[in-house]
Each structure stands twice: as C-alpha cells, then as structure tokens.
Amino acid sequence: MKPKIYILAGGAGTRLRPLSQTGKGQFPKQFLKLVGDTALLQEAIDRIPADMDVGIIPEKRYTEEVYRQAAEIGRRVNVLEEPFGCNTAAAILYAALFEHKALHNTERVLCFLPADHKMDKDVFRDLLDHAINVAAETGQVVTIGIKPDRAETNYGYIQAGNHMEGTLATYQVKGFVEKPDKDTAEVYLRDGNYFWNAGIFIARTSVLIEAAEKHCPEILRPISEAVMMKSAVTIADAYRKIKESGWNISIDYALMERIASQMTLIPAPKELAWNDLGNWESLNNYLETDTMGNTFFPGNPGEFNESSNVMLCNYTTIPVRVENCSDILVVATENGILIRKKEVDL
C-alpha cells in the first residue's frame, strides 16, 4: 500500500505578526505567501510526489482555504479537519486512528510534515523515500534531523546514538532535548551528534497506535471513541476532553520523548536547505541586499537614507522610507506595522 503524507496545517504563527493572524477572515502563517508568489501550504503540497496520497489537517475554519489553495496548484488532497487547534499530538493521533479505525489501513506508512517550513523539493523527495523505506522495514518511528550550522536556542534537539548497520547515515535516537540556553547550544554544535528537531515523523499506523496506547492513552482513547462512532462522542467532544485534562501538548512531549530509544534518526543533507521560518529574521536569506547591508523583497526595495543593516518586509504597495536607522526590522502589512530591533540569536 502506498504511504500517505499528512501535512500538519495547524498553528497560529504568532511570531510572524502582524502578517500572520487568526481573526475572522484572516489566516496564519501556513496559508500566506511569506516569500514569493506561493503560499507555504502550497509549497508543502507541491513538495509531495503527485502519485502519493496527501492529507491536510487544518482547523475546521480553514478547510475551505485548504481546498482553494490545493486547487490553485492543481492538486487533489483529503482534509481531516480539527474542530479547533489542540496541538500536534492530537492531530497526529487523530490521523493515525482515522487510518486504523475508519480506513483499516493498519500497516500503512504515515508521514507527518509541518505545513509552514521551506526546503528544497528534490532533496526532500529523496529523503522522504529513504525515510519511508526505513520506517517500513524497521517498524520504528523515523524522524528527520537537521545538522546545526550555529548554536541555535530556538529549536529543540535530537541526540543521535549508534549508527545502524547496513543503512546509510541512519542512527538510533538517544534522546530528545528541550530548547537549550546559548552555552548548551554551543556544546551541542561542537559535539556533532545533536540535530535540530524538524518536526517530521514517519511510521506505520500500528506502530503509532501501539506506542500511544502505552504512553499517552489520555489523548488516544477520547479520539478513538469519536472515530469509531459507536457513541454520541464527537471529535469536538474528544478534543475538549483532551484540552481540559491538559493533554493538548506536542507529539514530542506526549510520545516521541518517551519512545526515543526505539526511534530512528535520519540526518538531512545540507542541500535540503531547511528553514522553519520561525521568526522574521529567518526570511533574510530570501531577500536582496544593498551595499549598506539593508535587505528587502526583490522588486520592492523601499528607500533607505543614512541607514544600514535594516531588514524591510513590505507586503503592501505603500512606499516605505527608512531614515537614520540601523539594525532594525520593519514589517509593513495591511494588518499593521511592526518595527523593532533585529534579533541577534538566530
């Protein structure tokens, strides 16, 4: 059976305000054209080979936008809508239970990917094929790790263990590590066995279900009841129960950290050029630069007078002029304007 790719389209993208919004008639980061002419969700869909099944997991209020964006790029997708955001553990286990209980695809390999990251499409496809094969052959949960090129404090890390025999650049996971302070991040960078957690997970349906039954039944059981439809419990009821019990947490906390020793890590090649677009400064690599170090969107440079190292993201047609400033970020959108000092620790 062909694997199925699920794109996690939840999240509010709060660090990219004022562009990313969740109010009525507005959209968060994953549905926006952050850089270039294509929305991040569309890029994520296009990254998946056309012969693979693609499922999108958004909040219900964004379902229509998901279908619209998929149609715009000529792709068919299935939507598994959430009543409201309840973090990635609920979303992933909802999809796994839907495959298991509703579709009876107990051994299907499922891949879970964030909707709002950027990366090279061709390199990703090769990496995905490799990860799917490893997940199918080993019966383990596979995750993708990004080799750090700096002491980053905004990401969680995965520690690599022993190299797996007979496989190219594949390791047992030794453990997950929370976002470190600067000194600890420097240690991880020098060590060489720590990788950024990209939030990508691949596993057979049954493997995820069995692990969740043992380690996070508080999430699995309410959703299972709703998916089986043998009672009046709806998925909204299940999500409310999960939220009220405090289990609306990430899949990392709920499950992956608890089964780390039974997981496989595949390091991504640097050519993947992965970027989680987690803050405004992360867009800098996609901007043009003038002789004073000011950066801006191609075709919308703004005007800089006696200014240096200014980052300008202008999403409007209104001219922006920056005078006598340095080391600041300026974001102009129809929703509002942001001006602040640039962050140094990227």
Domains in the chain, please, with CATH? 4-272 (3.90.550.10), 280-341 (no CATH)
Q: Model confidence over 8-29: pLDDT tens digits?
A: 999 888 889 999 988 888 899 9
Distance CA 132, CA 3 (A): 8
Look over the chain and give the mean of its residue pLDDT values, rounded to a whole number.
93
Q: pLDDT grade, residue 345 (50/70/90)?
A: very low
pLDDT surpassing 80 at residue 346: no
DSSP 127-147: HHHHHHHHHHHH-SEEEEEE-
Mean pLDDT of all residues in 116-124: 96
Q: Model confidence over 37-81: pLDDT tens digits?
A: 999 999 999 999 999 999 999 999 999 999 999 999 999 999 999
Distance CA 340, CA 228 (A): 50
Distance CA 319, CA 108 (A): 52
Q: For residue 254, what are the contacts with CB-CB under 8 A and spacing of at least 6?
A: 89, 212, 215, 216, 219, 247
Distance CA 167, CA 172 (A): 11
DSSP 300-341: B--EEES-BS-EEEE-SSS--EEES-BSEEEEEETTEEEEEE
Contact 239, 84 (CB under 8 A): yes
This prediction's pTM: 0.93
